[in-house]
């Protein structure tokens, strides 16, 4: 194998360690009431992880129920418009429920059943993880309660209806900025109260160990598929991978199978109304407000004020509107293995419209952040090069937001 | 040293045949100055020790009453520094009872762990309770607390295994904080049915004092707990009274009642 190009470090083979640390990030910062539960979950997941029958059942569901593998699509008209690298889209939006979230909910759902838990609680921002959780609960015959900030219920109303139709209870959360962070607080409070009967189906690579590792493992199928698909299409590895990063599960999912390959990787945070204004969810880009801290059970980069109070965030996309980020992303950034950038609300909306008009694909506003970066980056690359964008979800849920932001006009 | 001072509270209360009432107050609720007066009133009316809550934007182990008080306190500007000033003010007023800060970990990280422990010690803080910091993650904080003699008190919950109970009992300083319920803070009508079993289980594993908190909201409940444990921690019920216009009197009366009800019969 050839040496990797400069600037691409090799990631260590095994993270996290036994205590759930990715270098200096991760860990288990939870109330004592939950410690036995996370220890039990770690043990149950360790058992399942080495059980071929568990993976065989999951693979069967991912294929027959969720519709995997999802296609890797060469976006010819977008590529010719940008005039540079060949752009491929990993079409997670075509998985059942319209986003990558189903990969994780099916995995954790089977694990919850294995642990004898009959009730699931979940948080949701954009509603995609909530819908995937509600779907999994219906499939496996479990009770499901989804916590969602009331601001997010307003802007992602179609997903609230979907969750209720699927038989789940949606509980609105009025605290704080009434978005994803507040929904997680409330889901954790429910878990603390009902921990003996309830599994917390966390939707991203966040939270106490083992969640960041476990959710990564369940999402890693994105990159495993994409890697073999792009090798078949191009005959060699791509030059760059791009994914949006809220908590960061679709990004880790795409990146993980390529970590030891000479492939550049870019995570795209929500730039909101701009970094200087402070109205964003760019934990890495904002060097003043984004500092290492502890929230929701894990140590990672966190948008906070000088006194350690967590700051309100803003993004046009509810799924990226969160003040912290998965600890493995903080680690990969520190290692220099992944580069992080941001796209503003306006750039994401432009990319949304561009993909609609140019490719006939309506992306989730979250995924549109990754598309925005692809549109910036492709022209700087040669037509011999290729890049893979994770199109993590579909945008039906975002129509009201996009139309009120000026509709579908270019 | 903080741990010894805290431990002595339970020894002396026990020698008087009662459990030590330990009120919890959110610093900065309803205002910073008012919370200092309320703390003083609590001690004047028979509290043996005070738990002072340092506000955090995301109090995920707390129920609605303390969430709301925390929000008000943050709006009142109750930063970590202001909380330390409140402790200094209490010491200047001659308060000698142990004062323990209870707060989530992130504001401590942001302040700087070493600086936080040093400034706590200088202000007159005896110990810390950090509800989202289990002993496994507390190495750095323990290393900074040790040299300045500050105690870290850990919690146990009904869900804790015996293995965890042994770990927590070995590492905790001053006392073991027993979370009475599987749940968040907040007033409840009844004590959990299996509270006695839980306290006895931990008692069989450690000789350190045991204080029970979460969900205890009436003198009657405090009396029941006093029959089992060495200390009774009351939070939401007091925080709620503190927000009333005549909060000073009502908190004082309530603590006096807690003190009377803590006598073992």
Q: Which residue of A has its CA nearest to B71?
A: A176
CA B30 to chain centre: 18
Tell me which residue in A31, A39, A194 faces B132 most closely, judged by beta carbons: A31
Confidence band of B188 (pLDDT split at 50, 70, 90): confident
- Residue B19 is classified by DSSP as P
pLDDT for the residue A13: 52
Adjacency order of strands within the sheet including A119-124: A169-173, A143-149, A119-124, A198-200
**Per-residue CA distances from B25 to A280, A322, B73, B103, B179 (Å):** 34, 30, 11, 11, 17
- What domain count does chain B have? 1
Closest CA to A88 of A225, A219, A224, A238: A238
Q: Does B74 touch chain A (CB under 8 A)?
A: yes
pLDDT for the residue A296: 97
B174 falls within a domain: no
Q: Does B63 touch chain A (CB under 8 A)?
A: yes
Residues 106-165 (B) with a CB less than 8 A from some CB of A:
106-111, 131-134, 136-137, 154-161, 164
Tell me which residue in B132, B158, B179 faces A30 most closely, judged by beta carbons: B132
Mutant choice from A307, A309, A312, A324 vs B, greatest count of B C-beta within 10 A? A307
B209 falls within a domain: no
Share of chain B residues as helix, strand and coil, in percent rounded to the nearest 5: 50, 15, 35
Confidence band of B7 (pLDDT split at 50, 70, 90): very high
Domain that holds residue B57: 2-154+229-258
pLDDT for the residue A409: 60
Chain A nearest-CA distance from B219, in A, is: 24
The torsion defined by the Cα of A147, A151, A156 and A159, in degrees rounded to 10, comes to 20
Angle, helix A180-194 to helix A32-49, in steps of 10 degrees: 90
Let me know if A181 is a catalytic residue: no
Q: Look at B60 and A296 and tell me if their CB atoms are within 8 Å.
A: yes
pLDDT for the residue A11: 46
User: What ipTM describes this predicted complex?
Assistant: 0.96
Q: Which residue of A has its CA nearest to B82?
A: A307
Do residues B198 and B161 touch, judged by C-beta distance below 8 A? Answer: no
pLDDT by 10s per residue, chain A, length 410: 333 343 344 444 579 999 999 999 999 999 999 999 999 999 999 999 999 999 999 999 999 999 999 999 999 999 999 999 999 999 999 999 999 999 999 999 999 999 999 999 999 999 999 999 999 999 999 999 999 999 999 989 999 999 999 999 999 999 888 999 999 999 999 999 999 999 999 999 999 999 999 999 999 999 999 999 999 999 999 999 999 999 999 999 999 999 999 999 999 999 999 999 899 999 999 999 999 999 999 999 999 999 999 999 999 999 999 999 999 999 999 999 999 999 999 999 999 999 999 999 999 999 999 999 999 999 999 999 999 999 999 999 999 999 998 865 65
Q: Which residue of A has its CA nearest to B162?
A: A36
Q: Which pLDDT tens digit goes with each residue over B123-163?
A: 999 999 999 999 999 999 999 999 999 999 999 999 999 99
Chain A nearest-CA distance from B15, in A, is: 30
What lies within 8 Å, CB to CB, of A183 at 6+ separation is: A123, A124, A125, A147, A148, A149, A152, A173
Q: Which residue of B has its CA nearest to A36?
A: B160
Let me know if A366 is a catalytic residue: no
B213 falls within a domain: no
Question: Backbone dihedral region of B153: left (phi > 0), alpha (psi from -120 to 50 degrees) or beta?
Answer: beta
Predicted structure pTM score: 0.96
Closest CA to A169 of A182, A193, A153, A188: A153
Chain A nearest-CA distance from B194, in A, is: 15
Tell me which residue in A30, A192, A308 faces B107 most closely, judged by beta carbons: A308
pLDDT for the residue A5: 40
Q: Look at B79 and A296 and tell me if their CB atoms are within 8 Å.
A: no
Which residues does chain B have within 8 Å of residue A195's beta carbon, measured at their own beta carbons? 159, 182
Which residues does chain B have within 8 Å of residue A39's beta carbon, measured at their own beta carbons? 161
B169 falls within a domain: no
B61 falls within a domain: yes
B191 falls within a domain: no
Which residues does chain A have within 8 Å of residue B76's beta carbon, measured at their own beta carbons? none
Q: Does B44 touch chain A (CB under 8 A)?
A: no
Chain A nearest-CA distance from B153, in A, is: 12
| Percent above pLDDT 70 for chain B | 100
Q: Which pLDDT tens digit goes with each residue over B66-108?
A: 999 999 999 999 999 999 999 999 999 999 999 999 999 999 9
B19 falls within a domain: yes
Chain A nearest-CA distance from B2, in A, is: 23
CATH of the domain at B237: 3.20.20.70
In this model, does residue B119 exceed pLDDT 90?
yes
Q: Look at B110 and A36 and tell me if their CB atoms are within 8 Å.
A: no
Tell me which residue in A37, A291, A307 faces B107 most closely, judged by beta carbons: A307
In this model, does residue B258 exceed pLDDT 60?
yes
Q: Look at A181 and B58 and tell me if their CB atoms are within 8 Å.
A: yes
Let me know if A347 is a catalytic residue: no
pLDDT for the residue A401: 93
pLDDT for the residue A358: 97
Q: Look at A195 and B79 and tell me if their CB atoms are within 8 Å.
A: no
- Which neighbouring-strand residues pair with B263? B18
B99 falls within a domain: yes
Q: Look at B157 and A309 and tell me if their CB atoms are within 8 Å.
A: no
């Amino acid at each position: 194998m050839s040496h990797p190009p400069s600037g691409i470090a090799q990631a260590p083979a095994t993270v996290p360690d036994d205590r759930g640390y990715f270098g200096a990030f991760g860990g288990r910062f939870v109330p004592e009431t939950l410690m036995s539960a996370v220890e039990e979950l770690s043990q149950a997941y360790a058992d399942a992880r080495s059980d071929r029958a568990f993976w065989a059942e999951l693979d069967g569901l991912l294929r027959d129920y969720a519709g995997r593998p999802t296609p890797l699509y060469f976006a010819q008209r977008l590529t010719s418009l940008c005039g540079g690298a060949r752009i491929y889209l990993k079409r997670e939006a075509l998985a059942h429920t319209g986003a990558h979230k189903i990969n994780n909910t099916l995995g954790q759902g089977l694990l919850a059943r294995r642990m004898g838990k009959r009730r699931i609680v979940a948080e949701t921002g954009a509603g995609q993880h909530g819908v995937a959780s509600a779907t999994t609960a219906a499939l496996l015959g479990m009770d499901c309660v989804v916590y969602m900030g009331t601001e997010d219920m307003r802007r992602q109303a179609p997903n609230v209806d979907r969750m209720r139709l699927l038989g789940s209870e949606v509980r609105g959360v009025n605290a704080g900025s009434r978005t994803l962070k507040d929904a997680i607080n409330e889901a954790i409070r429910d878990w603390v109260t009902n921990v003996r009967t309830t599994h917390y189906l966390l939707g991203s690579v966040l939270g106490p160990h083992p969640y960041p590792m476990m959710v990564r493992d369940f999402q890693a199928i994105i990159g495993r598929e994409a890697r073999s698909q792009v090798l078949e299409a191009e005959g060699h590895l791509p030059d760059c991978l791009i994914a949006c990063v809220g908590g960061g599960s679709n990004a880790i999912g795409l990146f993980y199978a390529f970590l030891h390959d000479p492939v550049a990787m870019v995570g795209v945070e929500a730039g909101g109304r701009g970094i200087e204004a402070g109205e964003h969810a760019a934990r890495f880009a904002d060097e003043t407000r984004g500092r290492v801290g502890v929230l929701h059970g894990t140590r990672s980069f966190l948008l906070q004020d000088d006194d350690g109070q967590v700051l309100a965030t803003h993004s046009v996309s509810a799924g990226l509107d969160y003040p912290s980020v998965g600890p493995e992303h903080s680690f990969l950034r520190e290692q220099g293995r992944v580069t992080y950038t941001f796209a503003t609300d306006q750039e994401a909306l432009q990319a949304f419209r561009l993909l609609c008009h140019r490719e006939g694909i309506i992306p989730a506003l979250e995924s549109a952040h990754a598309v925005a970066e692809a549109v910036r980056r492709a022209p700087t690359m040669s037509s011999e090069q290729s890049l893979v964008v994770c199109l993590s979800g579909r945008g039906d849920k975002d129509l009201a937001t996009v139309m009120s932001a000026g509709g579908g006009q270019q | 040293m903080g741990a010894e001072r805290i431990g002595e509270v339970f020894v002396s209360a026990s020698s008087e045949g009662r459990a030590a009432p330990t009120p919890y107050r959110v610093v900065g609720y309803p205002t910073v100055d008012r919370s200092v007066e309320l703390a003083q009133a609590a001690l004047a009316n028979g509290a043996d020790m005070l738990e002072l809550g340092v506000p955090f934007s995301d109090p995920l182990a707390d129920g609605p009453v303390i969430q709301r008080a925390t929000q008000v306190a943050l709006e009142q500007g109750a930063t970590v520094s202001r909380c330390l000033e409140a402790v200094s003010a209490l010491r200047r007023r001659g308060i000698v009872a142990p004062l323990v800060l209870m707060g989530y970990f992130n504001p401590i990280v942001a302040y700087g762990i070493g600086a936080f422990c040093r400034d706590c010690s200088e202000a007159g803080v005896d110990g810390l309770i950090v509800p989202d910091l289990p002993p496994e993650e507390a190495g750095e904080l323990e290393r900074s607390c040790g040299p300045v003699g500050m105690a870290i008190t850990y919690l146990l919950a009904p869900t804790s295994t015996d293995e965890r109970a042994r770990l927590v009992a070995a590492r905790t300083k001053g006392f073991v904080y027993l979370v009475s319920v599987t749940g968040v803070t907040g007033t409840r009508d009844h004590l959990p049915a299996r509270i006695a079993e839980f306290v006895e289980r931990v008692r069989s594993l450690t000789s350190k004092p045991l204080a029970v908190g979460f969900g205890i909201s009436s003198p009657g409940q405090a009396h029941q707990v006093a029959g089992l444990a060495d200390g009774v921690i009351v939070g939401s019920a007091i925080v709620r009274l503190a927000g009333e216009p005549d909060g000073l009197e009502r908190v004082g009366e309530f603590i006096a009642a807690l003190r009377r009800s803590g006598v073992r019969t």
